[in-house]
């Protein structure tokens, strides 16, 4: 999941801003963590175009940063909605259900880091004020409440058909990407990831696809 922090700017975006997401940032805030544990996008949209849905006014000109948890510890749930196999299953992401609140604390740290970045030049001179959550929110509990309220998916769901060892009862596919209990069917996309990668999954999906080609070609 990711949260969002929105600023009003003194004027419109520079004309050389060619796309809605102009920059990104990976942060490893925990030295013991393998790889980044926070990811940020720097947006002019969509959040600055519709902050009303979050209960905030819409600035005439604005930008936003989105603290994102690349490897959340909360685990979702996939379940059947009926006995009809043509009905789509339901996917409950179960955000912020990890026991030690790692996910919640990570987003709070992300908001604080975004504020630190906003205080540096040239951003500091360009940003007029913080719209959401607002500079009056400074405590861990209130920032956590805000972060949870506005959190959303980044549309990279994965792990719904995870790969695992033969003795893993919860694994849908084996190490050769074959669906357990069926013949001649493999899965080669992000659904086989046992855990999330620390970046957007596209490159990982391409690697899984290449591996599937090798496995099929070798008859494995």
Give the Cα separation of 189 and 211 in Å (integer): 11
Number of domains in the chain: 2
In a domain, 85, yes or no: no
Output the pLDDT for position 211: 96
Long-range contacts: 27-33, Cβ < 8 Å, 24+? Answer: 27/110, 27/113, 29/106, 29/109, 29/113
Mark whether 209 and 112 lie in a shared domain.
Answer: no
What's the mean pLDDT in 74-92? 94
Output the pLDDT for position 17: 64
What is the overall mean pLDDT for the chain?
A: 90
Domain boundary (128, 150, 172) is at 150
In a domain, 90, yes or no: no
* CATH code of the domain in which 66 resides: 3.30.410.40
More confident residue, 160 or 18: 160
What's the mean pLDDT in 107-116? 96
Mark whether 21 and 62 lie in a shared domain.
Answer: yes
Instruction: Answer positive or negative: Cα dihedral of 129, 153, 54, 59.
Output: positive
Q: How confident is the model at residue 47 (pLDDT cuts 50, 70, 90)?
A: low
Instruction: Please name every residue paired with 94 in a beta bridge, in sequence order, or none if there are none.
Output: none
In a domain, 48, yes or no: yes
Q: Which residues are CB-neighbours of 74 under 8 A, at least 6 positions away?
A: 93, 94, 95, 96, 97, 98, 103
Among 33, 136, 152, 156, the one annotated catalytic:
156
In a domain, 109, yes or no: yes
- Enter the pTM of the model: 0.86
Residue burial 164-177, b: 16+ Cβ < 10 Å; e: rest? beeeeeebbbeeeb
Q: Would you call 33 helix, strand, or coil by DSSP?
A: coil
Output the pLDDT for position 53: 76
Mark whether 37 and 107 lie in a shared domain.
Answer: yes
Q: Is the pLDDT of residue 19 over 70?
A: no
127-147 pLDDT tens trace: 999 999 999 999 999 999 999
Residue 33: CB atoms within 10 A of its CB come to: 13
Instruction: Answer positive or negative: Cα dihedral of 144, 147, 153, 156.
Output: negative
Q: Would you call 109 helix, strand, or coil by DSSP?
A: helix
65-82 pLDDT tens trace: 999 998 899 999 999 999
Q: Which domain holds residue 130?
A: 5-71+98-150
In a domain, 104, yes or no: yes
167-196 pLDDT tens trace: 999 999 999 999 999 999 999 999 999 988
In a domain, 84, yes or no: no
Q: Is 156 a catalytic residue?
A: yes
Q: What angle do CA 105, 69, 108 make, to 5 degrees?
A: 30
In a domain, 50, yes or no: yes
Residue 189: CB atoms within 10 A of its CB come to: 16
Mark whether 142 and 177 lie in a shared domain.
Answer: no
Output the pLDDT for position 16: 67
Output the pLDDT for position 88: 94
Mark whether 126 and 20 lie in a shared domain.
Answer: yes
């Amino acid at each position: 999941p990711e949260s969002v922090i929105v600023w009003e700017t003194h004027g419109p975006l520079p004309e050389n801003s060619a796309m809605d997401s102009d920059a990104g940032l990976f942060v490893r805030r925990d030295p013991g963590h393998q790889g980044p544990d926070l990811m940020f996008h720097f947006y002019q949209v969509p959040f600055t175009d519709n902050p009303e849905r979050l209960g905030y006014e819409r600035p005439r000109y604005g930008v936003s940063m989105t603290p994102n948890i690349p490897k959340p510890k909360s685990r979702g749930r996939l379940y059947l909605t009926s006995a009809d196999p043509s009905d789509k299953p339901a996917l409950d992401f179960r955000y912020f259900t990890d026991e030690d609140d790692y996910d919640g604390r990570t987003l709070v740290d992300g908001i604080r880091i975004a504020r630190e970045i906003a205080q540096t030049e040239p951003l500091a001179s360009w940003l007029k004020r913080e719209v959401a959550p607002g500079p009056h929110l400074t405590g861990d509990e209130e920032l956590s409440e805000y972060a949870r309220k506005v959190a959303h998916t980044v549309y990279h769901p994965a792990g719904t058909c995870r790969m695992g060892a033969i003795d893993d009862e919860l694994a849908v596919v084996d190490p050769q990407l074959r669906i357990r209990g069926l013949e001649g069917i493999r899965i080669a996309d992000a659904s086989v990831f046992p855990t999330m990668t620390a970046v957007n999954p596209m490159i990982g999906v391409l690697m899984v696809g290449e591996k599937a080609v090798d496995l099929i070609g070798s008859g494995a």
